[in-house]
Amino acid sequence: MTQQNSNEPPEDVASLYSWANLHGAKYRDFSASRALNRERTRVRVQEEAEQEHQLAIQKVEAAEAAQARESAEAAFRSAEQAHQAEVAAQMSAHEAAASAQRLAQERARQADEAAQRAAFEQKRIAGEDFSRRTAEERSRMAADEASTAQALAATMARSAQQRAGNVQPSYPTASWIPSHATQPVSIPDTRQGMPAPASAARPGQDSRDNSTRPAWLTQRFESAPAAAPAPVQSPEDTIQGSRDRITARWFALKSVLDGSPESPAASATEPAQSASRVPVLAIFSLSGGVGKTSLTATLARALSARGERVLIAETASFGLLPFFFGAHDQRYGQLRTFSPPSSSSDAPIQMVSFDPGALGPEEGPQEALQSGISRNSQNVSRVIVDVATASASITRRLMKLSPRVLVPVIPDMSSVVSVNSIDSFFEQYSGGSNKLPYYVLNQFDPSLPLHLDVREVLREKLGDRLLGFALRRSPAVSEALAEGMTVMDYAPGSGVAEDFGGLASWVKSTLAPAHSSFRGVRWSER
């Protein structure tokens, strides 16, 4: 406790009186001291009240700050909850989009599988149709061979009777001879009781042991029999028959025998006849993936480099032929001309695309495909037709133009087993073995033993109808299409470009262009 100074008046009243008596202070001094003490007390009380007021204000401000802080924390918690809800919504949307994408991909895969099954079913139906036609043709062939054997037996019997009794021989008419009997008839050797020996191996045939080949390569494939058209009857030996034969043979006697000059209608048909003389090469395949379209475009480009003006006719829906020459779209029914660069001396290439769904009926005086090709081939050297894959309708229409058919095959099992069906189909619609298609091996790799075996099997089966060279497998063909050109322009020095050059030379030697052949063209008076 602090000791109070003895000279200062005390604060309490009792001590004040004692202090006053001790020091001899008067009442006024005591009163002044008391007033001073009261003032001090009042000031102290006022200060305490002010301090309490400040404390109250501070408490209120602290409460308000705490409330504001709690409000801010609550707002922050609300914002955090809203953010979490937004993130959850985004994740739900992402999961929903991923689920929708997976569902769309699954449906697309199912649609693709359905399309593949439908295509496989169509090929199976086409194969059954070919097999049925083959069975019918074999039955017809067997009947013709039976009638041929009977006629030969009758002829031999009459010859024996002639030798025995000097009977005048009488030969049968030509009505029994089937049209496919242009080749010598093979008769078994009955004296030995054994059939004729099998043909020897061709020169240059691979002498490798067949035991190393797969089973499907070692079996023998029988050639499909040729379809026999209706037999041709000899005309009656009459004056009218002689006149018809002479008129058909000698054009100069027509006006003399008919007594009338050449009609204007006949001269009006000359452009169509000259157009039909443009050679037509049809590129056909029974299945996709053999390189038919790329072969058509590249062959046309190789012929263009040799100065030929080629017309390409495309008969497939959504084909890729225009894109090999820098086009960006496909236009049905419109004749398009693709010209080389100005510095090149190559001939331009023309192209026309036909919509298979808009060709109409096959039979008619103005068949759409035939008339379209004839109309657009007036000033070209040859026509190359990209036939729609496994389309019997398009092929039947093209056979009216008497085309030369080239079938690209790849060295696998499907190509080997499809040869019989392809030959049977063309035998039915071409009417003779001289119209059977030629085959060329595409995407060939001589380093693979399977490719060599397939080539040997096709050589044994097809003979000269398999071209003596093959088109090598090269990624440059697909890369050229991605660049909007053929491999002849993309990689002119590659091996596959040389192969296509050899194919173009074979086409020129086998099927002469229109402008270089004038045999059988009659002069006329204009």
pLDDT at position 447: 94
More confident residue, 73 or 218: 73
More confident residue, 220 or 393: 393
- Of 41-45, 257-261, 367-371, which range is least confident? 257-261
The yes-or-no verdict on residue 225 having pLDDT over 60 is no
How far from 164 is each of 159, 168, 384, CA to CA, in Å?
9, 11, 62
The yes-or-no verdict on residue 212 having pLDDT over 50 is yes
* Average pLDDT of the segment spanning 72-81: 91
Query: Quick one: angle between helices 27-165 and 13-23, nearest 10?
Result: 140
Total count of residues recorded for the chain: 526
The DSSP H or E segment spanning 349 is strand 349-353
The DSSP H or E segment spanning 89 is helix 27-165
- Of 246-255, 325-334, 455-464, which range is least confident? 246-255
The DSSP H or E segment spanning 310 is strand 310-314
Q: Rounded to 5 degrees, what are φ and ψ at 422?
A: -65, -45
Buried b (16+ CB within 10 A) or exposed e, 77-100: eeeeeeeeeeeeeeeeeeeeeeee
Six-digit token pair at 492? 């002119």
When pLDDT is cut at 50, 70 and 90, the band that residue 393 belongs to is confident
- pLDDT tens, residue by residue, 51-62: 999 999 999 999
Query: What DSSP state is assigned to residue 199?
Result: P
The yes-or-no verdict on residue 405 having pLDDT over 70 is yes
pLDDT at position 145: 64
Query: Cα separation of 272 and 127, whole Å?
Result: 36
The dotted CATH code for 277-357+367-515 is: 3.40.50.300
Stated pTM of the model: 0.51
- Of 103-107, 127-131, 300-304, 329-333, which range is least confident? 127-131
Q: Count CA within 13 A, CB hemisphere, residue 288.
A: 10
pLDDT at position 471: 96
pLDDT at position 480: 93
More confident residue, 266 or 7: 7
- pLDDT tens, residue by residue, 298-349: 999 999 999 999 999 999 888 889 999 988 888 888 999 999 888 888 999 9
The yes-or-no verdict on residue 183 having pLDDT over 50 is no
The yes-or-no verdict on residue 375 having pLDDT over 70 is yes
* Average pLDDT of the segment spanning 140-169: 62
Query: Cα separation of 137 and 89, whole Å?
Result: 71
pLDDT at position 526: 42
pLDDT at position 403: 92
CB 386 within 8 A of CB 321: yes
Percent of the chain exceeding pLDDT 70 equals 63
* Mean pLDDT for all residues in the chain: 75
pLDDT at position 259: 45
When pLDDT is cut at 50, 70 and 90, the band that residue 20 belongs to is confident
pLDDT at position 137: 65
More confident residue, 33 or 284: 284
- Residue owning tokens 């209706």: 230
Q: Provide Rg for the chain, Cα atoms.
A: 52
- pLDDT tens, residue by residue, 59-74: 999 999 999 999 999 9
pLDDT at position 369: 86
Angle at 125 between CA 123 and CA 127, to 5 degrees: 65
Query: Cα separation of 234 and 245, whole Å?
Result: 11
The yes-or-no verdict on residue 141 having pLDDT over 70 is no
Alpha helix (H) residue ranges in 319-412: 368-376, 392-398
Query: Cα separation of 419 and 277, whole Å?
Result: 29
